[in-house]
Chain A
Amino acid sequence: MKEEPDIIAVDAGSTDPGPYYLGSGKTLVPDSSVQRDLALLLKAQRKLGVPLVIGSAGGSGSKTHVDKTLDVLKRAAEHVGGQFRVKILYSDIEDGFFERILEEGRRTVDLGVGRSIREALRNPGIVVAQNGVEPVIEALKDNVDVVLAGRVVDIASFAALPWIQGFDKGLAVHMAKILECGAIAADPGSGADGLLGILRRDEFEVRPLNPERRTTVLSVAEHALYERSNPYKEVIPGGYADFRNATYEQVNTGVIVRGSRWVDAEKYMVKLEGSRPVGHRFVVIAGARDPLFISKITELFESTVKFVRDELGGNFTVYPRFYGWNGVLGSSEPMDKGHEVGVLFEVIAEDKNKAEAAAGLIRSTLLHMGWASRKTTAGNLAFPFSPSDIYAGLAYEWSLWHLVELEDPLETSKIDEVKLIG
């Protein structure tokens, strides 16, 4: 607080826990923890009189996530006292956008789903655009206290104000990239507290706010590797920051960075993220200890599934994991089986009853499956629970992970009028 920053920024986004959260509208962090953090941030906002920017609210940043976070923000504001001027930035796709991009034949790039955008849009589920810095800049107008943003790139909350003030875009993005994970870029690293970034004309400095940490040249350089494919650049809508010629200098507990460079993209493209349900999931957990059963476990499991498909019909999918052997690495596992193997399998079907029936029949068939020279003729599996088949809700998959060209950086965002809360 005594450092008197010009902005407080937070990135709440993560797609790391999989498509479930975007598809279901669930938040990753419990409301009580979010409320605690938001109350602290609102207090700091009030005291400093500088904007607070929250990016990718609720983890996935869909309207459901933003509105849930707004409810928590309201409770936090009541707790802090006083009124706050809030702008909401939604990143959901408005009606007509998909039809428009298909009709106009906009350039799109599939980043891994394995389907063209036309195919993916037949059943897209919940879709958000991972917006760039420009919509956050737009939302920061009107002298608001808080910007609550849906899905945006990680660095958007941090880079928006420096871009408004005309600082070097490349340095601003590089600094934002280090700040967005908080003290994870410090030594010792932690997600529990934040970092301070000081941007100057031709350099920036990052330093920890917790006296027990320091940022070092190595911790900052190492952070460029974290959860990303290319440590030399940060690609966002509209261009990228090139870190190739960046230099790092230790100054007390902070690090000064120079030389990062902004490069404009030819086209302004944002990523669309979509998640859709693929069916109901049942999970069965068991253990195997008999050495003959373990030695034949793959083929016994396969013939069990084949038998159940013949009995029930084919419209379900089954995925086994054999822990103690290849439950983590699958077909990349180099080692042999151990003396005990954990058998876990999931069954997914559009029809919940089908998923349940298939899980139950696979479980009982595998338990009693016979084979030549079998010794464990009373049962092959040890079940830790009764009932042994666990309903795990809907399973989701990424339906969309495509870049799409925009006509205007604000095309996939919607910014509400100022709201008063508290």
Chain B
Amino acid sequence: MAKLYDIARVVRSKNSGPFTLTLDLLFEDEDCWRQVSNKLTKEMVASAYKVKPEDVLDIIAYKPALAVKINMRRRIPSGHPGDMDVYGAQQHIPLALIELDIDCTGGKL
């Protein structure tokens, strides 16, 4: 088992427009990236964020940067009353804490 926060080089979140949150996982090595791309599902992300699976819009594997991008619907649009994170920059933790059944150390010993 490997926790995404431990094996990814970067785990980050940001707005992509006011209604969508875009989360990126960036990896050091291709093997790790491939395993995570194959294993991570919308259902896992939905369960980590306690949202409905349809609120996880897509998961995109992007090889040029060894990245996995996850797009999610925001609960409250950016900057609206009640929003907790206008830039969406600190929404990565539930994703980061997901543990996957993969064999990868993230390039580190």
Residues of A with Cβ closer than 8 Å to B? Answer: 15-20, 111-113, 217-218, 221-222, 224-232, 246, 248, 278-279, 281, 317, 319, 321, 327-334, 346, 348, 395-398, 401
Contacts and interface: CB of A to CB of B under 8 A. Distances in A.
Contact of A18 (B26, B79, B84): B79
Nearest to B79: A18
A401 B17 contact: yes
B18 A398 contact: yes
Interface residues of B, number: 40
Contacts of B48: 332, 334
Given A19-B79, A229-B22, A332-B94, 16 more contacts: A18-B78, A222-B26, A225-B65, A225-B67, A227-B16, A228-B16, A229-B69, A230-B60, A231-B60, A319-B82, A330-B84, A332-B91, A334-B93, A397-B81, A398-B80, A401-B18
Given A20-B79, A225-B24, A229-B16, A321 B62 contact: no
Given A19-B80, A330-B84, A401 B64 contact: no
B59 to A, nearest CB: 11
A112 B60 CA distance: 21
B102 interface: no
Interface in B61-109: 62, 64-65, 67, 69, 71, 75, 77-87, 90-91, 93-94, 97
Given A319-B82, A332-B50, A218 B65 contact: yes
A232 B71 CA distance: 14
A15 B84 contact: no
24 contacts: A15-B17, A16-B15, A16-B78, A16-B86, A18-B80, A111-B17, A112-B17, A112-B18, A221-B65, A225-B24, A225-B69, A228-B16, A229-B69, A279-B81, A317-B81, A319-B82, A329-B90, A330-B75, A332-B48, A334-B48, A396-B79, A397-B80, A398-B80, A401-B19
The 5 closest A-B pairs by CB, nearest first: A18-B79, A112-B19, A221-B64, A319-B82, A221-B65
A111 B77 CA distance: 12
B81 to A, nearest CB: 5
Contacts of B57: 229
B37 interface: no
Contacts of A222: 26, 65, 67
Interface of B: 14-20, 22, 24, 26, 48-51, 57-58, 60, 62, 64-65, 67, 69, 71, 75, 77-87, 90-91, 93-94, 97
Nearest to B64: A221
Nearest to B74: A112
Nearest to A222: B65
Nearest to B83: A18
Nearest to A317: B81
Contacts of B16: 227-229
B15 A227 contact: yes
B79 A231 contact: no
Nearest to B75: A330
B27 to A, nearest CB: 11
B15 A232 contact: no
Contacts of B69: 225, 229, 231
A327 B18 CA distance: 19
Contact of A395 (B20, B81, B90): B81
A395 B19 CA distance: 17
